[in-house]
Amino acid sequence: MPRIKIKSYILSLKHNKLIHPLYQVMRSAYRLLRKIGYSHYKHTPHKSSIREKLAFILPVIEIANHYKPVWEKLPRGSFDVVLYNISYSEELAFLKNYDAGIMTSKDLLKSDTKYRTMISHHIIDLSPEPIIKRLACTNIRFMYAAGKAKWNFSDWNKHYDFILCYGPYHAEKFSEITDAETLQMGYSRKRLAGG
């Protein structure tokens, strides 16, 4: 499926955002990517080394608060959490409520396995091959904050295939610096939490 059809599909989801909470948009985009087999993305390893579950990466425990409203809408056991430079602790015990798989990024790298799709709030590291590229075939940025424009609109966004951003201003800015598809989701934590 050509990239333009993917963009059209994702843009059509925007028009339904009042009746589709963010998790449905994410699941729809994920299903679309699974359906087309990600054939137009780079860095796809041999099929036997790909995990099909959706993954969220946590570089700090506090970012779990950013993802929680989405996790609460996803089916139990439908996603994994990858811990980056943090260890499992009692603070993460709540993940059992979601039946989420938990793995460290080091263990994932040792296993020579990638996730098909991973969500992160930003690039995490600025190495020539960032950790998000080493852990997943397709990367989705779930925008965390609207401040710090110099950081938010830096060239590291080129490593993302999709960016879930707040609104038209951010979508326009991202289109100037990256080829990533953007989806305007509003301020997700407030909307999904009923605020």
Q: Where are the domains of the chain?
A: 3-192
- Give CA separation, 179 vs 7, 85, 107, 111, in Å: 11, 29, 31, 30
pLDDT at position 22 is 55
- Between 146 and 95, the higher pLDDT residue: 95
- Tokens (6 digits) for 45: 């390893």
pLDDT at position 24 is 57
DSSP structural state of residue 60 = S
pLDDT band at 129 (very low <50, low <70, confident <90, very high): very high
Options 3.40.50.11720, 3.60.70.12, 1.10.3720.10, 3.40.50.170; CATH for 3-192 is: 3.40.50.11720
Question: What predicted TM-score, i.e. pTM, was given to this entire model?
Answer: 0.73
